[in-house]
């Protein structure tokens, strides 16, 4: 089995941004299923939202799409491990699914020798309410956010896209699963990182 490094930073602090900085309410509880973001993905639940705000009008949840700390991949890494390829600026929406795109380099065997190969990667975030109904992402200023109407869930997974010679079906697959499957150079490791603390609540006044 190949060796990889995957890091997920725990939520440490949330803030609301409007005219002034407001501390994240203690009544909002965050739980998750311990899944690996770069493999099977991780499901998050945010509860206690209604009880923690006086009003949910103008309350949003999301992140700055220029924030390099949100997530990264380094497909050809050696210790000491470091972030190299970030998910910034290149994104699109598909209903309640948000996709952030980037590229990374892996060392992969092609015609019996290892070559540096550029592959597409993406971070996918899907948002629903507690009943499984979709909550669509929107862009506000430099933020990608959800309008908050109550408790909600997020599913976060990091994926890679690569077409092996002779394969007829090509699709996005979890980064670490595909890295394990490909004939990559055993000299190098893959590094992935997702920092949950980049996700924040925001207050936009009319």
Q: What is the pTM of this model?
A: 0.86
Report how far residue 168's alpha carbon sits from residue 12's, in angstroms, rounded to the nearest whole number.
44
| Per-residue CA distances from 150 to 37, 50, 80, 129 (Å) | 24, 5, 42, 7
Q: Are 75 and 106 in contact (CB under 8 A)?
A: yes
Domain extent listing, the chain: 4-203
pLDDT by residue for the chain (206 residues), tens only, comes to 454 555 454 444 444 444 333 456 788 999 999 999 999 999 999 999 999 888 888 889 999 999 999 999 999 999 999 999 999 979 999 889 999 999 999 999 988 999 999 999 999 999 999 999 999 999 988 899 999 999 999 999 999 998 766 565 668 999 999 999 999 999 999 999 999 989 988 888 75
| Per-residue CA distances from 198 to 18, 80, 195 (Å) | 17, 23, 6
Secondary structure (DSSP) of 36-47: -TTTT-EEEEEE
């Amino acid at each position: 089995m190949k060796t990889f490094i995957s890091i997920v930073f725990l939520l440490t602090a949330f803030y609301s941004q409007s005219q002034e900085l407001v501390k994240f309410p203690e009544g909002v509880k965050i739980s998750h299923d311990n899944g690996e973001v770069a493999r099977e993905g991780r499901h998050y639940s945010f509860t206690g939202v209604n009880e923690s705000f006086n009003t949910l009008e103008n309350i949003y949840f999301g992140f700055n799409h220029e924030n390099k700390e949100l997530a990264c991949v380094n497909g050809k890494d050696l210790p000491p491990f470091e972030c190299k390829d970030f998910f910034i600026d290149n994104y699109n929406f598909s209903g309640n699914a948000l996709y952030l795109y980037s590229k990374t380099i892996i060392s992969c065997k092609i015609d019996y020798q290892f070559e540096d190969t550029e592959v597409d990667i993406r971070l996918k975030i899907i948002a629903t309410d507690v009943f499984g109904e979709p909550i669509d992402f929107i862009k506000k200023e430099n933020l990608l956010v959800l309008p908050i109407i109550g408790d909600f869930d997020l599913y976060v997974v990091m994926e890679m896209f690569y077409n092996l010679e002779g394969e007829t079906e090509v699709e996005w697959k979890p980064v670490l699963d595909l890295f394990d499957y490909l004939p990559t150079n055993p000299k190098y490791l893959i590094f992935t990182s997702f920092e949950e603390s980049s996700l924040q609540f925001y207050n936009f006044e009319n």
